[in-house]
Structure 1
């Protein structure tokens, strides 16, 4: 593994609650955040950071991802949890951050929505299924 590790949505929530410096970085597109929903960290006195890994609709890679991360004040010593839809783009983000010197870059397993159930719906895992706070714009 080329990053700090995989953590469940619940473990992420607990870490965000116990570590005032820890941050959640959502790497989904603006369209996903708007239409699917986003984590709500307001009860922890925090906001998640939205830094897309890829653009929409073209899917081009965000060449400024690390610069954007630093621009939001996320230092290389900050414990950072990356979230996407299912836990794939967040692995790429955690891997790249680690390669660039971030010491505690984590992937949130199953992402915000998780994989599909037998009926093709995203109801089996992820932030939403774990019952963690979220909101939709």
Structure 2
């Protein structure tokens, strides 16, 4: 338990870096920004992930790993099997992360166990394909590394994430309009399905 918490804490800190702009639909994975890279090196564009889930959904677990607040206020991809947060905000958001300019995020120590439960519910196992999506591809890469260390062998990260990267200049500066699931116009909704939601045990 302590080892998992330590690994999650280090992985959470690793998400502080910001990725350089990644072109929508790009798949030149050798040039993927470092912050979006995982040890397994398995990546998908949003379109590739959507097509894979459409064709091979029974053999694939597709997880949104953002916080519950992100799913509730920003929406979720319609094709995901479940929301399993990799990190979460404190119950009472009273502490501030000065480096990231957000409320403090804490590791979700249930993350690997909850992923395994969702796999089992779908009749799959640790060798089955898992696709992860976060906001912009940073957290999903770190979550992929954690799952790999926990014995999951085929974990893909959607490099653009759900909202995508922020623009650098002009009207798109500091807005997530560069790439991502939403900006690719793939199916998503604000309407949430309770059976897909994460409830801490």
TM-score surpassing 0.5? yes
1:65 is the counterpart of 2:115: no
Distance across 2 between alignment mates of 1:4 and 1:122: 24
| Structure 2 partner of 1:36 | 74
RMSD of aligned residue pairs (Cα, Å): 1.4
Q: Do the aligned residues in 2 keep the contact of 1:21 with 1:78 (CA within 8 Å)?
A: yes
Aligned equivalent of 1:96? 146
Q: Within 5 Å, give how 1:17-32 maps onto structure 2.
A: 17-19=54-56, 20-32=58-70
- The whole-number CA distance in structure 2 between the counterparts of 1:49 and 1:78 is 16
**Which residue of structure 2 lines up, in the alignment, with residue 78 of structure 1?**
128
Rounded to whole Å, the distance in 1 between the matches of 2:127 and 2:75 is 28
Which TM-score applies when normalising by structure 2?
A: 0.62
**Structure label with greater radius of gyration:** 2
Are the counterparts in 2 of residues 27 and 50 from structure 1 also a CA contact under 8 Å? yes
CA distance in 1, matches of 2:114, 2:41: 20
- Hey, what does 2:88 align to over in structure 1? 55
Alignment partner of 1:2: what SS? coil
Q: Larger helix proportion, structure 1 or 2? A: 2
Q: CA deviation at 1:109?
A: 0.7
Shift of 1:49: 1.2
CA shift, 1:125, in A, is 0.3
1:107 aligns with 2:148: no
- What residue in structure 2 maps to residue 44 of structure 1? none
Unaligned runs of 5+ in 1: 42-46
Deviations 1:69-97 (A, max 9, x none): 11212521221011100101100111111
Give the 3-state SS of the residue equivalent to 1:11 in structure 2.
helix
Q: Residues 60, 89 of structure 1: CA spacing in aligned structure 2 closer, same or farther, 3 A cutoff? A: same
- Tell me the number of residue pairs that the alignment of Structure 1 and Structure 2 aligns: 132
Inter-partner Cα distance in structure 1 for 2:165 and 2:106: 23
- The reply on whether 1:5 has 2:33 as its aligned counterpart is no
